[in-house]
Amino acid sequence: MINDHSSLMMLMLNQTDLTPGSFILNGIPGLEDMHMWISFPFCSMYIVAMVGNCGLLYLIHYEDSLHRPMYYFLAMLSLTDLFICSSTIPKALSILWFHFKEISFDGCLVQMFFVHTFTGMESGVLMLMALDRYVAICYPLHYSTALTNSVIAKAGLSTFLRGVLLIIPFTFLTKRLPYCRGNIIPHTYCDHMSVAKLSCGDIKVNVVYGLTVALLIGGFDILCITISYTMILRAVVSLSSADARQKAFSTCTAHICAIVFSYSPAFFSFFSHRFGGHTIPPSCHIIVANIYLLLPPAMNPVVYGVKTKQIRDCIVKILLGSKDIKSQSI
C-alpha cells in the first residue's frame, strides 16, 4: 500500500517537473532578419481590422436603417473578428518588434482557447449569414417574421456555446501532456498542435480530437453554406427578370467574399500543418496561419463597406453631416 502511494506521488512529481512554467514563442523561424519588415503589414492589417470593425459596430448600433437581421449577423462577425485578431496580434507584434517571446504556460492555454473558440465562432457566423441570405432570397415575405431579434440572439449564443464546449477539452488535453522536448514554440501564437508537438507523450488523442472538432465545426458549417447557396442559386436562376437576378446576386457578393477570405487560408493552414510534412517551409505555415487570423478581420469591413449600398449610404450620410457641422462652425 505504501509502495503504491509512493509510486503515485513520484508520478505526480514527475508530471509536475515535465510541465514548463512558460513557453518561448519564437516568431517566424528562418526569417528572423525580416521580423521588423514582416511586422509592418501585420500592424497595418491589425489597425485596419480594429478601425473597420469598430466603425461597422458603431454604424449598426446607431443607424436605424441597419437594424435588420443581415446587419445584426454582420455585427456578430465584426465582434468575433475583433476578438480573433486582438487575442494574437498584439503578442505577435511584441515578438517581432521587441523580442518579448515568453508566455506563461497558463497564458498559452488561455490564448489557445480564445483563438480556436472565436475562429470556430467566425465559421458559425458565416454559416448563419448564409442561412440569412437563403431566407431573404427564397422566402422574402417571411424574412422579418422568421428572423426575429430573439431568433438571431439565440442563434448567435448557440454558435458561441458550440465553440466554447468543443474547444474547452483542448486545454485539458494539452495540459495533461508531459513536455520534455523543450519549451520553444516555432510560432507567433499558441496553436493547439504547435504546443502538443512539444510533448514527449502520446498525442494521438489530441490529433484525433482536433480533426473531429474541425469536422464538427468547419465541416458542418461548410455543408450548410453549400446547401444554402445551392438553394439560392436555384431560386435566382428561376427569376424571369435579369435585373431581379442581378439584385439578388449582389446581396450575396460581400458574404461570398467573406467566405473566401476566411476559408481559403484556413484550409491551407489546417491541412498543410497536419499532412504537409517537410515539403512546406515552417515559415510559410506560420505566415499563412497569421494571415488566416488577420485577413478576414481586415477585409470584411472593407468588402461590406464597398459592396453594401446601405452601409455606403450611412457612411456618406455621416461624412456629409460632419462637413455640414464644420461649415456651420466656420
CA count, 13 A, side-chain hemisphere, 84:
28
Q: Mind listing the pLDDT tens digit for each residue in 87-145?
A: 999 999 999 999 999 999 999 999 999 999 999 999 999 999 999 999 999 998 899 89
pTM: 0.89
Q: How many residues does the chain have?
A: 330
Q: Mind listing the pLDDT tens digit for each residue in 243-280?
A: 878 888 888 889 999 999 999 888 777 677 666 656 77
pLDDT at 245: 81
pLDDT at 248: 80
Residue 95 burial (10 A CB sphere; 0-12, 13-18, 19+): buried
Mean pLDDT computed over 210-224? 93
CA count, 13 A, side-chain hemisphere, 52:
25
The secondary element (H helix, E strand) that includes residue 22 is strand 22-25
Residue labelled with grid coordinates 474547444: 167
Distance CA 5, CA 2 (A): 5
Q: What string of DSSP letters covers 123-156?
A: HHHHHHHHHHHHHHHH-GGGHHHHS-HHHHHHHH
pLDDT at 324: 54
Residue with the bigger pLDDT between 67 and 15: it is 67
- Residue 197 identity (one-letter amino acid): K
